[in-house]
């Protein structure tokens, strides 16, 4: 009798393990389908990249340093080479785009415009800036040869960032939190 009980228990355990493995395999295949574009360096405007938009978990990540775009299409953070200097096209900005859950979000950077609201003007040499998307992380962009036409205290300069994703374009105004010397 005890031998039959062990055999039944062994069969039940094996069945449970096989069922769990099949369930895990199905979830892995589903995840692979939805994250296919994650390794791509090219931001596509096709609908395949957009099918997983908004399917992430409901828990929000840390968006403290990010600025939300006007329509909520993306959040963007700009890190600057330090210190920022005026009258010299040697400044470098690194942009990081994420979604509302702080997950990497491939966005096409359409424009990057410096503006000084208090003075009512932008900058000179804007046409010399070079925008480059990272080949490994398509949510990261680098803007080289950024020229501030004049110095300013922290918060006096802003960047108007325009990005597009899935056929939609959105804008965010990012305050530069450091002094431009």
pLDDT tens digits, one per residue of 97-125? 999 999 999 999 999 999 999 899 998 88
Neighbours of 174 (CB within 10 A): 19
pLDDT in tens, 4-62: 544 444 454 444 434 444 443 443 344 333 333 222 233 344 444 575 554 443 445 78
CA angle (141 as vertex; 139, 143 as ends), nearest 5: 165
Q: How many Å apart are CA 84 and CA 88, to the nearest integer?
A: 9
**Per-residue CA distances from 68 to 64, 106, 143 (Å):** 10, 15, 20
pLDDT for the residue 154: 87
Q: How many Å apart are CA 163 and CA 173, to the nearest integer?
A: 12
110: helix, coil or strand?
Answer: strand
pLDDT > 70? residue 65 = yes
pTM for this entry: 0.69
pLDDT for the residue 49: 57
Q: 128-131: long-range contacts at Cβ-Cβ below 8 A with a sequence spacing of 24 or more? A: 128/89, 129/89
pLDDT for the residue 15: 46
Outline where DSSP puts E strands in the chain.
67-68, 75-80, 91-98, 108-115, 130-133, 140-146, 158-165, 168-175
pLDDT for the residue 81: 87
Q: What is the mean pLDDT of residues 64-84?
A: 94
Confidence at 139, pLDDT banded by 50, 70, 90: very high
Q: How many Å apart are CA 145 and CA 123, to the nearest integer?
A: 12
Q: What is the mean pLDDT of residues 84-99?
A: 95
pLDDT > 90? residue 1 = no
pLDDT in tens, 157-170: 999 999 999 999 99
pLDDT for the residue 11: 52
Q: How many Å apart are CA 92 and CA 37, to the nearest integer?
A: 27
């Amino acid at each position: 009798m005890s031998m039959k009980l062990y055999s039944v228990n062994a069969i039940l355990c094996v069945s449970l393990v096989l069922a769990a493995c099949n369930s895990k395999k199905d979830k892995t295949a589903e995840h692979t389908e939805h994250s296919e574009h994650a390794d791509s360096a090219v931001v596509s405007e096709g609908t395949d990249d957009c099918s997983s938009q908004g399917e992430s978990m409901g828990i929000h990540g840390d968006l403290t340093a990010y600025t939300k775009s006007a329509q909520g299409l993306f959040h963007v953070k700009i890190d600057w080479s330090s210190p920022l200097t005026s009258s010299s096209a040697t400044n470098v900005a690194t942009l990081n785009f994420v979604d509302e859950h702080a997950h990497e979000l491939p966005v096409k950077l359409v424009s990057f415009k410096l503006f000084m609201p208090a003075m009512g003007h932008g900058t000179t040499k804007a046409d010399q800036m070079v925008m480059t998307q990272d080949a490994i992380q398509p949510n990261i962009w680098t803007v080289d040869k950024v020229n501030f036409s004049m110095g300013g205290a922290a918060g006096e300069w802003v960047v108007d960032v325009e990005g597009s994703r899935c056929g939609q374009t959105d804008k965010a105004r990012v305050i530069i939190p450091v002094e431009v010397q």
